[in-house]
């Protein structure tokens, strides 16, 4: 149960965020605004209790948790929790995206060693999601410092609406969809991500021309991810990340470009030098967590 005064505080914050969103988007459905205002007006707590609630040590995870509970109980305010919990990526910032793929125990170990920075994105990798289910996303969100940007690498191939809703509810800030998926799926994926206010990332693995895929879409995704598959890089080393594509994509479309596959700080620097906004590094099970933590530290130090 959420104490009434905290609920009032949360609702006030949500209301502000929604009003903000509504002022920017003419198509915004304003019906939820009225509903929240009504709930607020019925609350027996005064604005003074509201100030007290604000003073409480409201860490983000608690807040998110309350929102999840609230959503379950109040269908009226479905989805609006995402407006509050979502952090979006900023242009002109360089990010390091750490993909966690082995086990949740290891994820905990590596997360505890990472320095705190808003330039570090943490990913619940595909194998983790398939092994632990969507719990992998919520667990990693809990392990990470409050407010950390969490990517769910669900690699959607079909039934986009169902997957996006699931990862957004688990607290992810971004979801991934395969660039090789049917165009109908990618279009639906981007629409759903916008609906849930999370970033959409299109993973161009095994796509011959990322530009050709982008050209066919109704709306642009937030992020385009270029890479070689992991299996690919293990078995045929000669395949290179197509760096020239970064400029090509950014020259034509207003999207962020992520480049996957960097094991050393040199490779990371090279990607950034070639205009990548996000560099994805993997924490493989054969590597020690310290190694990954060191790479993250040098990224924060050397790439501004």
Partner 1 sequence: MLDKRTKYLQIAFNRSLEEVKEMIGMLPPSEKILIEAGTPLVKKYGGRGIAALKTWWSGKIQSPGYIVADLKTMDRGSREVEMAANAGASAATCLGLAPIETINEFVKNCEMVGVDSMVDMMNVEFPFEVLQKLKKLPDVVVLHRGADENERNREKQIPHDQIHRIKGTYNKVLISVAGGETLRDVIRTYFNDSDIAVIWKSFYEKPENTAILAGEFLKLVK
Instruction: Give contact residues for partner 1 (rule: CB under 8 A).
Output: 101, 125-127, 129-136, 154-155, 157-160, 162-163, 166, 178, 180-182, 184-185, 187-188, 205-206, 229-232, 234-236
Residue closer to partner 1 (CB basis): 36 or 224: 224
Residue closer to partner 1 (CB basis): 187 or 275: 187
Please state the φ and ψ torsions of residue 187, each to the nearest 5 degrees.
-60, -45
Q: Are 76 and 38 in contact (CB under 8 A)?
A: no
Residue closer to partner 1 (CB basis): 131 or 303: 131
Q: How far apart, in whole angstroms, are the C-alpha atoms of residue 241 and residue 39?
A: 53
Q: Are 223 and 255 in contact (CB under 8 A)?
A: yes
CB of 162 to partner 1, least distance (A): 5
Q: How far apart, in whole angstroms, are the C-alpha atoms of residue 196 and residue 260?
A: 25
CB of 125 to partner 1, least distance (A): 8
Residue closer to partner 1 (CB basis): 175 or 197: 175
Residue closer to partner 1 (CB basis): 191 or 275: 191
CB of 209 to partner 1, least distance (A): 15
CB of 32 to partner 1, least distance (A): 26
CB of 182 to partner 1, least distance (A): 4
Distances (CA, A) of 11 to 4, 83, 197, 201, 243: 10, 11, 17, 29, 45
Question: What region, left, alpha or beta, does residue 90 occupy, with left being phi > 0 and alpha being psi -120 to 50 degrees?
Answer: beta
CB of 137 to partner 1, least distance (A): 10
Q: How far apart, in whole angstroms, are the C-alpha atoms of residue 120 and residue 110?
A: 13
CB of 30 to partner 1, least distance (A): 28
Residue closer to partner 1 (CB basis): 74 or 139: 139
Please state the φ and ψ torsions of residue 79, each to the nearest 5 degrees.
75, -25
Nearest to 217 by CA among 187, 251, 189: 187
Residue closer to partner 1 (CB basis): 22 or 104: 104
Sign of the C-alpha dihedral, residues 283, 285, 290, 291?
negative
């Amino acid at each position: 149960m959420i104490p009434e005064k905290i609920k009032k505080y949360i609702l006030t914050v949500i209301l502000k965020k929604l009003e903000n969103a509504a002022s920017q988007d003419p198509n915004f459905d304003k019906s939820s605004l009225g509903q929240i205002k009504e709930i607020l007006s019925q609350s027996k707590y005064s604005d003074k209790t509201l100030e007290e609630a604000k003073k409480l040590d409201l860490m983000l995870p608690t807040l998110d948790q309350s929102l999840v509970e609230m959503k379950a109980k109040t269908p009226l305010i479905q989805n609006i929790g995402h407006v509050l919990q979502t952090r979006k990526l900023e242009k002109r910032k360089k990010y390091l995206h750490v993909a966690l793929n082995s086990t949740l125990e290891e994820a905990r170990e590596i997360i505890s060693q990472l320095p705190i920075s808003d330039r570090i994105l943490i990913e619940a990798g595909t194998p983790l999601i398939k092994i632990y289910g969507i719990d992998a996303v919520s667990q990693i969100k809990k392990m990470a410092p409050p407010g950390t940007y969490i990517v769910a690498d669900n690699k959607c191939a079909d039934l986009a609406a169902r997957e996006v809703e699931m990862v957004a509810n688990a607290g992810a800030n971004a979801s991934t969809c395969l660039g090789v998926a049917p165009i109908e799926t990618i279009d639906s994926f981007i629409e759903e991500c916008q609906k849930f206010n999370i970033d959409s990332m299109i993973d161009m693995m095994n796509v011959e021309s990322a530009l050709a895929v982008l050209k066919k879409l109704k709306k642009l995704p937030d992020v385009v991810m270029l890479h070689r598959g992991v299996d690919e890089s293990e078995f045929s080393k000669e395949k290179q990340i197509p760096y020239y594509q970064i400029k090509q994509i950014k020259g034509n479309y207003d999207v962020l470009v992520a480049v996957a596959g960097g094991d050393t700080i040199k490779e990371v620097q090279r990607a950034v030098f070639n205009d990548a906004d996000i560099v994805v590094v993997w924490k493989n099970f054969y590597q020690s967590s310290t190694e990954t933590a060191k790479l993250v530290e040098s990224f924060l130090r050397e790439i501004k």
